[in-house]
Structures are given as structure tokens and as C-alpha cells.
Structure 1
Amino acid sequence: MFRPSPRIASGLLAAAAAVFATLSVQAPAYADDVYLCTGPNGVPEYRNSGNVKGCKKLTLPDVVTVPGTRSPRSAGAAPAPAQNNAGGGFPRVDNATQKARDGERRQVLEAELADEERKLQALKAEYNNGQPERQGNERNYQKYLDRTAQLKGDIERSQANVDSIRRELGNLKD
């Protein structure tokens, strides 16, 4: 195995550090010039160098940045006092209003459940235990198989929806 002398090793180390320092100088995050070039198929291309035939330099306006404004709260103003707020800053709702909302939610969920169950029954009837009736446009057997697979997936999604709605109804407070 080759081992350089300490003097050569320190010289190599210094050269490597100089190369690394030169490469690590950060370039700006934007290109100064933008060129519009015509590609091989006539498609316009934007480049940061115009060293290809058919490129022309674009004159673009400078980027303008607008500093944000500070809100009164972030500027050091005292926060407004909480009015009828429990922890977390959420307004409190009295029990009668909450019971009315829960009742409305229950009615909506029960209506959705009834609709989804009707849909599920219709899909199961059409699926006919994996042997749906062939339609006139299904001369090709693959179309029939595709529709059968689609029906099976629809049944699984509808059953998952029914289960989810029932779970939501079970989570409601009486």
C-alpha cells in the first residue's frame, strides 16, 4: 500500500481544502439572464445561457418583494380578553342547542344510511351472486367480466359506507 510522506500528505490536504473552499462558494439562487431559444421541433425553450443558435436574451422586470404587515397581536399588543370561551378559544354552546344539533345530525345520518342501504340492495340484486345478467352491448366476454368486477367493487364500497355510517351513528350521544 502506498503511503505518502507527511510533507506530501499535508500538501495534498491543503490543496483539497482549497478546492473544496472554491467549490463551496455559494452562487446566487437565480440566473441573471434568461434566453428564449427555439428547440429542434420549433418548441420554445427557456435557458440560462444563450450559447445555442436561435436564442435571444429576454429583458425581464426585476423581482419585487413586499414586506408583510404586522398584525396588532404580533406587534406586542395585549390579546383581547376571552368572552365566554372555555379552554382553546372555542365558544361554548348551551345544552339545548347542542342537543338540537345532535338530533339534526342523527336525522341526516339515518337518511344517508337508508339511501346507502337501498343502493347496496340494488347493487346486490344486479350482481346476482357473481352471475349478473349479460347486457346487449356485452358481446365481448371481457366486457361482461369487467362489469362484474366493477359491480363487486361497488358493492364493497357501498358496504364500507354502510358500516361507516352505522359507526358514526353509534358514536352519537343520546
Structure 2
Amino acid sequence: MKRALLALLLSCVAMADIYKHVDAEGRVTYSNVPMKGAKRIDMSGLPGSIPAPRSGGSSSGGSRASANPSPADFPKVDSATQRSRDLNRRQLLQDEMASEQRLLEQARTELSKATPERAAKLRDDMMHSEKNIEMLQKEINRIK
């Protein structure tokens, strides 16, 4: 669920601020909402990135683009640039999925020789990774 936020954030054409938080157990959480101890990720150097729009618009966040047409002065993106952005986004999501799959496999391996206390944490970690993998796969499938 936590990394699902990253996937949802990456689905936007314009990038908003993204924050990375590592908890005491080493779990990484990405969010568009600042939290205590989180670091803002500077994504301005990524290929195809554009500045995030200023908040102040009347977007409700729940509607699709067809329901709320873009203003006339909204930046237009040519298809080659969008294709490049989609490829970059797909690669980022695939890299994140590979990382989650490694974590899941590592937890499965450790589970067989873990103490009962450690086994409970490993099962929790496995469930966390499985959910992340599922959400990442859904987001990858959405990319054209």
C-alpha cells in the first residue's frame, strides 16, 4: 500500500513533490504528503520532467481528464516526449518491482529458519511485499 502511493504519483504527467521515508525497521515509504523524518526527492533532473503545477486550481482529484478539460495555457506534451516519460516510468516501476521481489524471496528464505518471534515479522514483511508487487504490477499494466 505504501509503495502504491509511489505508483499512483508516477502516473501523473506533471510530477508533484514526492517524499521518501525510511522507518526504524528499514521499510521505505514514498508519499506525496510530507511526514516527520521524510526527505523530499528531487525529480527535476529526470528526463522528461516538468515542474509541478501550482496548487490553487479547482481540481477535486477524483475526476478523469475528460471530465475536467485542461486550461488553454496548460503545457502540451508531444507524443514522443510522452512515450519517453512512459518508458522511464515503466523502468522505474519495474526496478521497484524487482526490489520488492528480492525482499519477498529473502523473507521466504529466512522464514524457514526463523524463531517464532522473527517468523511473525517475516510474514508481515512478506505480506507487505506481496501487496506492493500487486500494486506495482497493476500500475505497470496501465502504461501504454
- The TM-score with structure 2 as length reference comes to 0.48
- Greater C-alpha Rg: 1
- The TM-score with structure 1 as length reference comes to 0.40
